[in-house]
């Protein structure tokens, strides 16, 4: 029974969180790609600046989620080593 609880904990607490963070990473990459495409198509400097700001925002989202994923992976690895 304890083994089942441990596996359930891994699924819910670790893998679901990993999936959410990975999805956020993918969304940030897509946002950067879209903004980059938009910049190539735009002529107005103000609109280009808006897209550059969007890229900076998406880069921050990516970095935040990437670091969180790293912390989660390290914590999970430490937990596995302890058991």
Mind listing the pLDDT tens digit of every residue in the chain (83 residues)?
666 666 666 666 667 888 999 999 999 999 999 999 999 999 999 999 999 999 999 999 999 999 999 998 887 777 666 65
Query: Rounded to an integer, what distance in angstroms lies between the CA atom of residue 48 and that of residue 42?
Result: 6
pTM score: 0.78
The single residue listed with the structure tokens 């938009």 is: 38
Longest dimension (CA), the chain: 64
Spatial CA neighbour of 39 closest among 47, 29, 30, 31: 47
The pLDDT score that the predictor gives to residue 16 is 86
């Amino acid at each position: 029974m304890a083994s089942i609880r441990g596996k359930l904990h891994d699924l819910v607490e670790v893998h679901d969180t990993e999936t959410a963070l990975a999805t956020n990473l993918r969304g940030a990459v897509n946002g950067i790609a879209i903004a980059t495409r938009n910049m190539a198509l735009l002529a107005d400097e103000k609109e280009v600046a808006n897209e550059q700001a969007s890229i900076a925002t998406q880069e921050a989202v990516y970095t935040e989620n990437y670091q969180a994923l790293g912390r989660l992976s390290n914590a999970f690895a430490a937990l596995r080593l302890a058991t």
